[in-house]
């Protein structure tokens, strides 16, 4: 066979067949929750493939031109080349709109899958020794994914994303002492600056994707080196991994998953319109669209900006402007706490042991309660990011909705955390009760249990 001849050819020159064979024997646990990271990885691959296609048509240029194209509603309107090329890509390039929408959907799914993967790791304690490094790498990829998502949807220079950039400038400006310099350096001077679109483009298509690619490689290398965690069960102990071998079972399954992820994104791209920039119009600093919501993963920050009361700190002619607290301090605290969590937990619990068995959420009620409480907090912030839509849908005043959400922001986490604690500790107690279980050995040497 041709494959074995190639294999022999390579083996006689480079060697290393045994490494390949060992890799092919790697065992992957079968639990569904282990798919989340794979979905993230495959969304990233779709992002790279569709993104490369988009670069052939998109022009990252803020130069103003007058539109003369096939979308009649905007004919004769002044707009940037970036916006114009996105229109052309959407209306005049065969398949362009599909690929553009697939790219945007893939970005939403990518961040969602990374986030879901993070939750799985958190609630099962899979971040504990020896996997702290992969927790830190994974979090960095989440941060980069959010940054790149924001950079990406800002590129078309439409009214919605342009307003987002205006807010980003204000947040940069709000940093004490160095804020104005920082904003000037990042955006290329005073607002509005023509520099920002080409800069975001370089970040979006080169720097951040390469960083994610490198971190992803290290993430996977560590995963192979340290092997997967697994839930305990018959035959599944801290000293082994039970599941499907890479070759051929897991390979077929995971490549199949890639195609299914891509298929889902293609279906969304074909049927569910996303970011119709021609409806928002080109960016103009004196105009604004309402209601205006960012992509979902920015929703918590948007909500924080909306809920934070009208406070500013002023003394001796210096001030810490309002957006600093929800726009810089909150995400700073959020990610610092996430980065430190494995080390803080080990310290507070006094558990510095090596763990290869994943917890069930009921094994650690306090951790589950903290996780659920924190999720509730960010959930309320996320909802607050659409407080204007909520108010108009419910026929309430925006003030009433905002005040209610401000109160819920502190009440909900406590209630959610308490309920989670009660439910999980109750379940944990039930599990501790002795059960009658009969264990029998199966023909292939595994074990079956029966209650």
Partner 1 sequence: MRKPSAVGASFALGAAGGIGLIASGILNLSTQFLGVMLAIALTGIGVGLVVFAHQLRDGDATEERHEFQSEPPVETPVSDRARRSFLRGLTAALGALVIGLAGPLRSLGRDPTPALKSTSWESGMRLVNSDGHPIKAGEVTQGSVVTVFPEGHIGDAMAQALLIRVDPATLDPDRAGWAPDGHLVVSKVCTHAGCPVGLYEAQRNQLLCPCHQSTFDLTNGAKPVFGPAARPLPQLPVAIDDQGWLIATGDFPEPVGPGFWDRGR
Measuring CA to CA, which residue among 328, 309, 302 is closest to residue 389? 302
Query: In 3-state terms, what secondary structure has residue 61?
Result: coil
Is 185 an interacting residue with respect to partner 1 (CB under 8 A)? Answer: yes
Is 181 an interacting residue with respect to partner 1 (CB under 8 A)? Answer: yes
Between 312 and 351, name the residue whose CB sits nearer to partner 1.
Answer: 312
Is 114 an interacting residue with respect to partner 1 (CB under 8 A)? Answer: no
Between 177 and 439, name the residue whose CB sits nearer to partner 1.
Answer: 177
Q: Which of 136, 137, 147, 243 binds partner 1 (CB under 8 A)?
A: 243
Q: Are 235 and 447 in contact (CB under 8 A)?
A: yes
Q: Which of 202, 336, 399, 430 binds partner 1 (CB under 8 A)?
A: 399
**Contact window for partner 1 (CB under 8 A) among 139-147, 253-261, 364-372, 421-429:** 253-261
Q: Which residues pair with 313 in a beta bridge?
A: 320
Is 231 an interacting residue with respect to partner 1 (CB under 8 A)? Answer: no
CB of residue 364 to partner 1, shortest distance in Å: 22
- As a whole number of angstroms, the distance between CA 40 and CA 51 comes to 16
**Contact window for partner 1 (CB under 8 A) among 201-209, 261-269, 333-341, 407-415:** 261-269
Dihedral (CA of 61, 66, 70, 74) sign? positive
- In Å, what is the CA distance from 79 to each residue of 71, 283, 386? 13, 7, 28
Q: Are 385 and 294 in contact (CB under 8 A)?
A: yes
Q: Under rule CB under 8 A, which residues in 207-226 are in contact with partner 1?
A: none
| Segment holding 7, helix H or strand E | helix 2-13
Q: Which of 187, 201, 280, 341 binds partner 1 (CB under 8 A)?
A: 187
Is 69 an interacting residue with respect to partner 1 (CB under 8 A)? Answer: no
Q: Under rule CB under 8 A, which residues in 123-152 are in contact with partner 1?
A: none
Is 232 an interacting residue with respect to partner 1 (CB under 8 A)? Answer: no
CB of residue 154 to partner 1, shortest distance in Å: 15
69: tokens are 């194209």
Is 70 an interacting residue with respect to partner 1 (CB under 8 A)? Answer: no
Measuring CA to CA, which residue among 310, 302, 326 is closest to residue 385? 302
Q: Before 291, cis peptide (omega within 30)?
A: yes
Q: Which of 48, 136, 140, 188 binds partner 1 (CB under 8 A)?
A: 188
Is 387 an interacting residue with respect to partner 1 (CB under 8 A)? Answer: yes
CB of residue 362 to partner 1, shortest distance in Å: 24
**H-state helical runs in 155-207:** 159-173, 179-187, 196-202
Is 290 an interacting residue with respect to partner 1 (CB under 8 A)? Answer: yes
Is 269 an interacting residue with respect to partner 1 (CB under 8 A)? Answer: yes
Is 169 an interacting residue with respect to partner 1 (CB under 8 A)? Answer: yes
CB of residue 285 to partner 1, shortest distance in Å: 4
Is 1 an interacting residue with respect to partner 1 (CB under 8 A)? Answer: no
- As a whole number of angstroms, the distance between CA 40 and CA 151 comes to 19
DSSP 444: T
Number of residues near partner 1 (by CB under 8 A): 103
Q: Which of 103, 306, 364, 367 binds partner 1 (CB under 8 A)?
A: 306
CB of residue 441 to partner 1, shortest distance in Å: 13
Is 412 an interacting residue with respect to partner 1 (CB under 8 A)? Answer: no
CB of residue 104 to partner 1, shortest distance in Å: 13
- As a whole number of angstroms, the distance between CA 448 and CA 148 comes to 47
Q: Under rule CB under 8 A, which residues in 318-357 are in contact with partner 1?
A: 318-323, 326-327, 356
Is 300 an interacting residue with respect to partner 1 (CB under 8 A)? Answer: no
**Contact window for partner 1 (CB under 8 A) among 68-76, 202-210, 212-220, 260-268:** 260-268
Give long-range contacts, CB 8 A cutoff, 24+ apart: 417-422: 417/369, 417/370, 417/372, 417/373, 417/376, 418/369, 419/372, 420/365, 420/368, 420/369, 420/371, 420/372, 420/373, 421/365, 421/366, 421/368, 421/369
Is 407 an interacting residue with respect to partner 1 (CB under 8 A)? Answer: no
Is 235 an interacting residue with respect to partner 1 (CB under 8 A)? Answer: yes
Q: Are 402 and 389 in contact (CB under 8 A)?
A: no
Q: Which of 53, 115, 258, 339 binds partner 1 (CB under 8 A)?
A: 258
Give long-range contacts, CB 8 A cutoff, 24+ apart: 31-36: 31/230, 31/231, 33/120, 33/124, 34/120, 34/228, 35/257, 36/113, 36/116, 36/117, 36/120
Between 22 and 61, how does the x/- string for binding to partner 1 read (CB under 8 A)?
A: ---xxx--x-------------------------------
């Amino acid at each position: 066979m041709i494959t074995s001849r190639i294999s022999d050819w390579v083996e006689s020159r480079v060697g290393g067949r045994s490494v390949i064979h060992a890799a092919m024997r790697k065992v992957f646990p079968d639990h569904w929750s282990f798919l989340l990271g794979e979905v993230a990885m495959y969304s990233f691959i779709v992002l790279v493939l569709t993104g490369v296609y988009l670069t052939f048509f998109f022009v990252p240029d803020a130069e103003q031109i007058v539109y003369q194209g096939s979308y009649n509603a905007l004919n004769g309107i002044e707009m940037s080349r970036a916006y114009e090329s996105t229109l052309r890509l959407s209306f005049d390039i065969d398949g362009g709109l599909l690929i553009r929408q697939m790219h945007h959907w893939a970005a939403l799914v990518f961040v969602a899958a990374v986030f879901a993967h993070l939750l799985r790791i958190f609630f099962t304690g899979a971040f504990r020794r020896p996997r702290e490094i992969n927790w830190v790498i994974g979090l960095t990829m989440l941060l980069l994914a959010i940054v790149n998502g924001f950079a990406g949807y800002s590129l078309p220079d439409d009214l919605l994303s342009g307003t987002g950039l205006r807010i980003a400038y204000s947040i940069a400006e709000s940093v004490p002492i160095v804020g104005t310099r920082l904003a000037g350096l990042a955006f290329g001077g005073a607002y509005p600056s023509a520099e920002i679109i080409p800069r975001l483009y370089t970040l979006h298509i080169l720097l951040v994707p390469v960083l994610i690619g490198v971190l992803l490689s290290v993430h996977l290398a560590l995963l192979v080196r340290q092997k997967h965690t697994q839930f305990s069960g018959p035959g599944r102990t801290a000293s082994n991994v039970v599941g499907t071998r890479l070759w051929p079972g897991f390979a077929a399954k995971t490549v199949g998953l890639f195609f299914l992820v891509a298929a889902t994104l293609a279906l969304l791209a074909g049927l569910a319109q996303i970011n119709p920039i021609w409806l928002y119009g080109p960016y103009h600093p004196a105009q604004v669209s309402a209601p205006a919501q960012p992509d979902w993963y920015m929703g918590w920050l948007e909500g924080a900006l909306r809920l934070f009361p009208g406070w500013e700190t002023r003394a001796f002619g210096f001030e810490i402007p309002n957006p600093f607290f929800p726009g810089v301090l909150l995400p700073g605290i959020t990610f610092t706490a996430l980065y430190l969590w494995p080390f803080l937990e080990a310290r507070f619990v006094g558990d510095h042991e090596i763990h290869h068995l994943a917890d069930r959420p009921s094994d650690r009620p306090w951790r589950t309660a903290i996780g659920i409480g924190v999720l509730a907090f960010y959930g309320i912030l996320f909802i607050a990011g659409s407080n204007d839509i909520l108010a108009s849908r419910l026929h309430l005043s925006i003030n009433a909705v905002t005040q209610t959400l401000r109160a819920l922001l502190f009440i909900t986490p406590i209630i959610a955390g308490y309920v989670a604690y009660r439910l999980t500790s109750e379940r944990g107690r039930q599990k501790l009760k002795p059960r009658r279980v009969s264990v029998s050995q199966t023909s292939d040497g595994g074990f079956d249990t029966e209650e």
